[in-house]
Amino acid sequence: MKKIAIIGIILVLLSPLVYLGIKEHQKQVEIQEFNQKAQIFQDRYNELNESQAEDLVPILMNDILTEDIFKGWSQDRINHQIAYFYKNDGEDKIKLCSDMIKYKVNKFNMDEDPQEQIQNYINNLQEGNLDRIDKLIVKSFEDAVERFQKQYEYELLINDRFLY
């Protein structure tokens, strides 16, 4: 009976330590999962930057000069194609932003109403509490805005109505 009592006392004394150990392990697993997801997002961002409109424009211009199929292209058509390159770049970056925000909102605020989740996330960003993914969201969004600005500049050069 004494042994059972001693075991009971030991369990009572150790249970907070075991609980804290489990909590610490869970926290470490969450941090590891977060870092893995952040790396996936970083890789996608880098992949998007490998082939940008700036890389495609010289190829297009070379093709226009050397390939018969492009000989009849007007300046408006060329500008339209370049605007399209920038539009695609911007859309790809916005999609990445959307995926990252969705991950952040779903991962860290599961008990809240979706509108509350988003508002809390925005408040957190406005307070300057940026983690690795948040910084990538901001950078990707800035890149997208820059791409859409370039698209707009080329659209302004087009004399005819710009059709999508």
**What does the pLDDT profile of the chain (164 residues) look like in tens digits?**
666 667 666 656 656 655 566 777 788 888 899 899 999 999 999 999 998 998 999 999 999 889 888 888 988 999 999 999 999 999 999 999 999 988 887 776 666 677 787 787 778 878 888 899 999 999 999 999 999 999 999 888 885 554 44
Residue 160 has a pLDDT of 56
Residue 162 has a pLDDT of 47
Distance CA 121, CA 142 (A): 18
Residue 84 has a pLDDT of 94
Tell whether 75 is covered by a domain: yes
Tell whether 162 is covered by a domain: no
Residue 5 has a pLDDT of 66
Instruction: With 0.75 as the threshold, say if the pTM is over it.
Output: no
Residue among 136, 56, 52 at smallest CA distance from 96: 136
Tell whether 6 is covered by a domain: yes
Distance CA 12, CA 9 (A): 5
**How many independent structural domains does the chain possess?**
1
Tell whether 116 is covered by a domain: yes
Distance CA 81, CA 36 (A): 37
Specify whether the CB–CB gap between 117 and 109 falls below 8 A.
yes
Distance CA 99, CA 78 (A): 32
Tell whether 163 is covered by a domain: no
Tell whether 29 is covered by a domain: yes
Which residues form the domain of 129? 2-157
Tell whether 143 is covered by a domain: yes
